[in-house]
């Protein structure tokens, strides 16, 4: 399979978890390189449902090694409970998971500050997952964060944490929020640190040893292109580079070691949280929610839904260098009579064939649509390209062409077997 970067080509929740699980079959090592437990990757194996937040989905397959890279922000309490949860489901997590020493740690004050800042923003809130992601990356950039290497060092962690709690309690008080108890936080983090210590290593060295052996590495992206801190709809974004470059900085594996980029996208568009979504449409949202689809894996929030936006996905191809496309949730459109695809934006008289950077302009933009006849046939039993209805194939070919990348996978349901290699 060679070294593959997998990214979300929309606003997250493209179905990356399932595609990663499928591609992992051919990989040796799976690496998370950015984000934290704000992510929620859902994987179905048979009738069993697994939701992963920090641990790469590769953990669900035997004989694969999983790495949480330096670019990730780790909530140690969350990670311990995820490991425990997987073990209860009979998944082996022992000797197959490695956590970077230099990944930054998320603390309760990050979560509290995340929540407080959202309250302060009022109607301009971002709609974060309140997992403390923004404040944790903020501390990293400000060079005042603590890293996993500090957490597992019993000698220096106590002092470092004491200083951080003192400082952050002043900030929390200014927000009118309750200060944290050092004793409680310390006890919980000490326990989690001791639990995690056997997993912690120099993952850069580890990954390069694997590469030297000829292992194939899959870099699993979290969130999506338009939630990228640089390339997304700022400030309605997450705090990491969700685009393909993040796989390099977040792992220590250089761009020239990467062989291809796979972009995952839904056959329509969804977004959780606030910020512009040009093709948002109440009818398609009601239809999908009525089918029980499109509720967030991390927060349970109903996702906002809209038509496929090829202006956005073409931009995603550009900034990520997407070679191959995996289109998911095709079956979500099975009952639609006429399917719309956004092929441009209009702001008054001005037309755009790219995404304007000004979120206010983007929020004002009206989509220009092309229409496709729906196939109105269930697709979830299709197992080959030929078994897909002709109109469905036409639609998939059209969105791949508009996105300017090669159609590689068509996914017609959550199951592994519902994966069509085109
Ligand atoms: P944060 O990452 O929790 O700070 O949230 C920032 C924005 O990114 C919000 O709009 C969230 O809903 C969104 N977001 C964060 N993680 C995910 C994800 O895994 N899927 C979809 N949206 C996400
Ligand atoms: Mg998700």
Each residue of 299-351: pLDDT tens digit? Answer: 889 999 999 999 999 999 999 999 999 999 999 999 999 999 999 999 999 99
Rounded average pLDDT over 386-404: 98
Query: Residue 297: its pLDDT value, please?
Result: 83
pLDDT of residue 146: 98
Burial of 367 (0-12, 13-18, 19+ CB in 10 A): buried
**9 vs 41, more confident:** 9
The mean predicted confidence, pLDDT, of the chain is 96
* pTM as predicted: 0.96
pLDDT band at 102 (very low <50, low <70, confident <90, very high): very high
Per-residue pLDDT, averaged over 122-127, amounts to 95
pLDDT above 90: residue 45: no
Q: Provide the pLDDT for residue 82.
A: 97
Q: Which ligand lies nearest to the CA atom of residue 10 in the structure?
A: 1
Structure tokens, 351: 């037309």
Could you tell me the pLDDT band of residue 1, with boundaries at 50, 70 and 90?
A: low
Atom of ligand 1 nearest to the CA of 299: 12
Catalytic residues, by residue number, are 13, 41
* Cβ < 6 A, ligand 1 pocket: 12-13, 38-40, 126-129, 131, 133-134, 222-223, 227, 238-239, 272-273
- Give CA angle at 72 (67, 76), nearest 5°: 85
Per-residue confidence (pLDDT) for residue 293, from 0 to 100: 95
What atom in ligand 1 is closest to the CA of residue 301? 12
Phi, psi of 347, deg, nearest 5: -120, 95
In this structure, are strands 406-411 and 419-421 parallel, antiparallel, or unpaired? antiparallel
pLDDT score recorded for residue 163: 97
Task: Find the ligand nearest to 39 CA.
Answer: 1
């Amino acid at each position: 399979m060679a070294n593959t970067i997998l990214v979300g080509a929309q606003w997250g929740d493209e179905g990356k978890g399932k595609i990663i699980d499928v591609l992992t079959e051919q990989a040796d090592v799976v690496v998370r390189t950015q984000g934290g437990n704000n992510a929620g990757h859902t994987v179905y194996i048979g009738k069993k449902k697994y939701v992963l937040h920090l641990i790469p989905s590769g953990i669900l397959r035997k004989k694969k090694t999983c790495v949480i890279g330096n670019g990730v922000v780790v909530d140690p309490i969350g990670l311990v409970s995820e490991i425990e949860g997987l073990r209860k489901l009979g998944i082996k997590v022992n000797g197959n998971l490695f956590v970077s020493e230099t990944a930054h740690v998320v603390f309760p004050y990050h979560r509290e500050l995340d929540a407080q800042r959202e309250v302060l923003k009022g109607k301009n809130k971002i709609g974060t997952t309140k997992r403390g992601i923004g404040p944790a990356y903020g501390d990293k950039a400000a060079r005042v964060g603590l890293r996993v290497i500090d957490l597992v060092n019993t000698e220096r962690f106590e002092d470092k944490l004491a200083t951080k709690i003192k400082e952050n309690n002043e900030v929390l008080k200014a927000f009118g929020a309750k200060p944290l108890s050092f004793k409680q936080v310390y006890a919980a983090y000490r326990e989690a640190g001791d639990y995690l210590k056997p997993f912690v290593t120099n993952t850069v060295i580890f990954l390069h040893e694997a590469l030297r052996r000829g292992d194939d590495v899959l870099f699993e992206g979290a969130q999506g292109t338009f939630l990228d801190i640089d390339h997304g709809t700022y400030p309605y974004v997450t705090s990491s580079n969700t685009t393909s470059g993040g796989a390099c900085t977040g792992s220590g594996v250089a761009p020239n070691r990467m062989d291809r980029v796979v972009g995952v996208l839904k056959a329509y568009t969804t977004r959780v949280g606030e910020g512009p979504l040009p093709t948002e449409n109440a009818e398609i949202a009601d239809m999908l929610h009525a089918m029980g689809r499109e509720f967030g894996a991390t927060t349970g929030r109903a996702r906002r839904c809209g038509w496929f936006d090829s202006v956005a996905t073409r931009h995603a191809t550009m900034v990520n260098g997407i070679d191959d496309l995996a289109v998911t949730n095709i079956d979500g459109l099975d009952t639609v009579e006429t399917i719309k695809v956004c092929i441009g934006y209009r702001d008054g008289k001005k037309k755009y064939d790219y995404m304007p950077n000004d979120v206010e302009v983007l929020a004002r933009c009206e989509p220009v649509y092309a229409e496709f006849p729906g196939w109105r046939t269930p697709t979830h039993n299709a197992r080959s390209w030929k078994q897909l209805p002709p109109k469905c194939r036409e639609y998939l070919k059209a969105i791949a062409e508009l996105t300017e990348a090669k159609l590689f996978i068509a996914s017609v349901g959550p199951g592994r077997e519902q994966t069509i290699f085109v």
